[in-house]
């Protein structure tokens, strides 16, 4: 089973049973798996504030793929059912927009913010994958119901010029772009295509807590779609390939941001700034230690000089 769109996976190594991370999550022995999740009672508005405490649940079974897979499936379904229970019932699935008139009717004319779910169609992905992603967009629409959002679905492969205007390319779809038609600004999400992540992105844009970009002219939706280039997109199929991690890590490119979207570049710039601040703090700390050592060394030499002078006077 592939849970990459359902969960974020992280790993940490503990060499000591007294490791604070083990104590924090009450982990008696290793290896172990803990599921961290936001309480379903938390609203997307509260989650967008960033001040939400995570709940945790330990994996109770043996460290076996079959048991772990079943446990994750049950956890996924339980959270989904609770989300559905708290969502208003009068929410319709986002319409699949294929013409300019539909885009104007469903997005521009309704005011507020337009959440465009860019989901590749069945020509570039399997039917089951397409239906799953449509369902995820529907769940996100439910989570943001009652807020000023109108949801639509656009195929970024068939409408590649329209999608590219919002920094949506085959490699970063499916994704969601929140468009402010009247202001001509947008923000494309960089993250997993998870209903809660989609809803959180919408709330961040609404609250002005994420960066938006100017778009002067929104390209028109081409009725019937653009002609597909076979090099634009390759169907998503699982590929098993042997590779050497050292080869990948050793690769160098002239431009590290080549092919990245503005949202991904902004994230790289943020991380780079954090690293530079951390490096500056480290250098400052080292300089302070060096100055402290020099002061201590000077005091010792001064004391030694006084003792030598005293001995000479005694003679």
Among 78-92, 93-107, 166-180, whose mean pLDDT is lowest? 78-92
Question: What's the rounded Cα separation, in Å, for the pair 291 and 221?
Answer: 65
Lowest model confidence (mean pLDDT) among 4-13, 64-73, 229-238: 229-238
The chain-wide mean pLDDT, for the chain, equals 76
Q: Which residue has the higher pLDDT, 315 or 203?
A: 203
CB of 179 closer than 8 Å to CB of 80: no
The 10 Å CB-count burial string (b at 16+, else e) for 79-105 is beeebeeebeeebeebeebbeeebbee
Cα–Cα distance measured from residue 143 to residue 11, given in angstroms and rounded to the nearest whole number: 29
**Which structure tokens are listed for 159?**
């409408």
Q: Give the range with max mean pLDDT: 58-67, 131-140, 256-265.
A: 131-140
Which pLDDT does position 29 carry in this prediction?
A: 79
Q: What is the pTM of this model?
A: 0.50
Select, from the ranges 30-34, 130-134, 216-220, 289-293, the one with the highest average predicted confidence (pLDDT): 130-134
pLDDT of residue 263: 64
Q: Nearest-CA neighbor of 53 among 10, 20, 24?
A: 24
| 250 exposure class (CB count in 10 Å sphere: 0-12, 13-18, 19+) | exposed
C-alpha triplet 88, 90, 93: angle, nearest 5°: 105
* Interval 82-106 mean pLDDT: 77
Please state the rounded mean pLDDT for residues 88-114.
83
Distance of CA 168 to the CA centre of its chain: 15
Q: What is the mean pLDDT of residues 98-123?
A: 87
Longest dimension (CA), the chain: 108
Provide mean pLDDT across the span 250-274.
Answer: 57
């Amino acid at each position: 089973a592939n849970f990459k769109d359902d969960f974020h996976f992280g790993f940490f190594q503990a060499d000591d049973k007294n490791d604070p991370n083990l104590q924090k999550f009450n982990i008696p022995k290793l290896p172990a798996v803990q599921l961290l999740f936001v309480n379903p009672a938390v609203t997307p508005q509260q989650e967008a504030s960033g001040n939400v405490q995570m709940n945790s649940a330990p994996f109770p079974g043996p460290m076996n793929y079959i048991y772990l897979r079943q446990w994750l499936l049950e956890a996924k379904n339980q959270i989904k059912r609770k989300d559905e229970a708290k969502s208003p019932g009068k929410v319709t699935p986002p319409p699949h927009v294929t013409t300019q008139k539909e885009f104007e009717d469903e997005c521009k004319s309704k005011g507020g913010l337009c959440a465009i779910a860019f989901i590749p169609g069945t020509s570039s992905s399997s039917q089951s994958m397409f239906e799953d992603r449509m369902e995820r967009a529907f769940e996100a629409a439910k989570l943001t119901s009652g807020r000023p959002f109108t949801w639509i679905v656009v195929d970024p492969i068939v409408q590649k010029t329209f999608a590219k205007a919002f920094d949506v390319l085959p490699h970063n779809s499916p994704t969601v772009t929140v468009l402010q038609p009247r202001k001509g600004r947008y923000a494309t999400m960089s993250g997993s295509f998870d209903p809660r992540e989609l809803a959180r992105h919408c709330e961040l844009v609404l609250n002005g807590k994420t960066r938006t970009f100017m778009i002067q002219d929104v390209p028109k939706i081409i009725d019937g779609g653009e002609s597909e280039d076979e090099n634009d997109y390759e169907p998503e199929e699982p590929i098993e390939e042997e590779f050497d991690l050292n080869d990948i890590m050793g690769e160098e490119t002239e431009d590290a941001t080549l092919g990245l979207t503005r949202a991904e570049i902004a994230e790289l710039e943020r991380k780079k700034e954090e690293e530079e601040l951390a490096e500056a703090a480290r250098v400052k700390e080292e300089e302070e230690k060096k100055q402290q050592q020099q002061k201590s060394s000077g005091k010792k030499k001064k004391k030694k000089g006084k003792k030598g002078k005293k001995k000479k006077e005694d003679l």
